[in-house]
Amino acid sequence: MIEFFTFSEANRIVITFILGICALTQTLAIVLNFYRRSLTAPRAFESLFEISILFEILIFSFLHGQVVNGYINGFVVAAGYENIRIAVFIMIMILVLVVCIFTRRIAPLSVVPASVISLPIVENLLGRAFPWFFVAVLIFFLIRSIKICITSVIAINTRISASSVMHAIDTLHTGVLFCENDGYTLLSNYQMQKLMIAITGRIFRNAIQFYEMLVSDQYESRYKKAELDGQMIYLLPDGTAWMFTKTDIPFRMKNYVHISVADVSGHWNLTTRLQQQNQKLRRKKDELTKTIANLHIFSKEREIENARMRAHDILGQRLTVLLRTIQDENNIDYDLLTSLSKGLLDELKAEKSETRPYDELESIQQIFAAIGVDINVEGQLPDNVEHAGLFVDIIRESSTNAARHGFASKINVVTEATEDAYNLTITNNGHTTTVPITPGGGIGVMRKKVNAQGGNLDIRQHPLFTVSVVLPGGDQYE
């Protein structure tokens, strides 16, 4: 160690600093290495081996301390500690062999060359080079202890232990609780305790008592109960939904109870929306059923009304012809009567769409011409078949009424298409009256049909009896 006296003060301070850091990191390595593994015979010898290395570092510290103390006091001190240095070296050699045998690794043998430097005989052999080997061994021990510390920390963070299992359970979003058969709680994670407080306002030590109170709805003011997939769920004020389950776990001749609670908020929200949609669909179904029933009734009523109107038009038209014939002639023409009655039933049964509006209008003109009633038509019927048919029906009804009630001999029909409407005007030269006319079944039905098409039907009695009809449409049908 005499060679250290040739070092500068700064170098001696650096070596002192390295010795302190080396002793600190080796101590930390001993603690972490002991904590990372369970205590077994091989692990116990590994810990003793690391402790022997700490002793070696302390011996190096004593030797360097002598040098520093001699430099301060102004005299050279012999190295000393020969017996302790040899004893620590022998202990290290024994522990190295034991650890290598137990662990079946040769890495611990790397400590042997470093420990040899501390022997007095090696110090004498190295001479002036000894300080440099001394510093190199310190750096080796420092690097080795730092590596052990890092490896131990990684192993501690990644190993499965009771604390790590508890930490993992506490971080679960699912509530977990294990208890004995009498309710004594063995394990309860943070989520379960949080739900206990949310539902009951306190934490239960007896898990069975908590579950029975939950089922009995003693704290129902703090939650709402619902059913999901045959299981009871509890709806909390914060909008979350939780499902509690209780399971018995037999283990080693004893029975334990596992109570778990799962967050089913997402599933519940989807189920709720699905139920709402099902309710809407059922309401729509009921509305559709009623609509179909009403449509059936409405269709039936409309068909009956159309049949009644057609019978009214056809019979009214033929009866009008018959009455005019009887009134105008002394002798009844039986051939005419036969022609009026022939094909009556077939015409009543025939579909209205089987005859084109123009053909039907021409037939009306011919029938009324046979009794001396001239129907003069100016203009064209609408291109829309439905509107044209409606105009023909109105012309038939108006002509029948004019011939039968007003004894008219001339009927003028004018149709005109404007930009957005069709106009129909019917006048006759029959007798008029000052008494207001009450529309009968024929005119009343015609007015309903016109109103259904968005149009309007108007009757004027003076100066001529006039029927005016306006239907929306006009030139857009042309």
Residue 357 shares a structural domain with residue 464 = yes
- Could you give the count of Cα atoms lying within 13 Å of 386 in the half-sphere of its Cβ? 8
Lowest mean pLDDT among 84-98, 197-211, 443-457: 443-457
Tens-digit pLDDT profile for residues 379-401: 888 888 888 888 888 888 888 88
Q: Compute the average pLDDT of residues 308-326.
A: 60
Tens-digit pLDDT profile for residues 39-62: 778 888 888 888 988 998 888 888
Q: How far apart are CA 321 and CA 337, in angstroms?
A: 10
Percent of the chain at pLDDT > 70 equals 78
Residue 394 shares a structural domain with residue 463 = yes
Residue 48 shares a structural domain with residue 154 = yes
Residue 114 shares a structural domain with residue 211 = no
- The residue type found at 342 is K
CATH number of 363's domain: 3.30.565.10
**Mean residue pLDDT across the chain:** 80
CA torsion through residues 348, 352, 354, 358, sign = positive
Residue 28 is encoded by which pair of tokens?
């930390």
Residue 364 scores a pLDDT above 50: yes
Which residue carries 């409606």 as its tokens?
A: 390
In a domain? residue 294: no
What is the reported pLDDT for 300? 67
Residue 147 shares a structural domain with residue 179 = no
For the chain, the domain total comes to: 3
Residue 181 shares a structural domain with residue 93 = no
In a domain? residue 291: no
Lowest mean pLDDT among 141-145, 154-158, 281-285: 154-158
pTM above 0.85, yes or no: no
In a domain? residue 312: no
In a domain? residue 327: no
DSSP 227: E
In a domain? residue 295: no
Residue 37 shares a structural domain with residue 144 = yes
Domain range for residue 215? 165-263
Residue 80 shares a structural domain with residue 135 = yes
- Of the two residues 334 and 236, the one the predictor is more confident about is 236
In a domain? residue 341: no
- Point out the domain boundary residue: 139, 159, 179: 159
Residue 70 shares a structural domain with residue 108 = yes
Q: How far apart are CA 394 and CA 382, in angstroms?
A: 13
Residue 204 shares a structural domain with residue 155 = no
Residue 50 shares a structural domain with residue 141 = yes
Residue 227 shares a structural domain with residue 363 = no
Q: Which residues contact 315 (CB under 8 A, 6 or more apart)?
A: 344
Q: How far apart are CA 45 and CA 184, in angstroms?
A: 41
- Point out the domain boundary residue: 107, 132, 159: 159
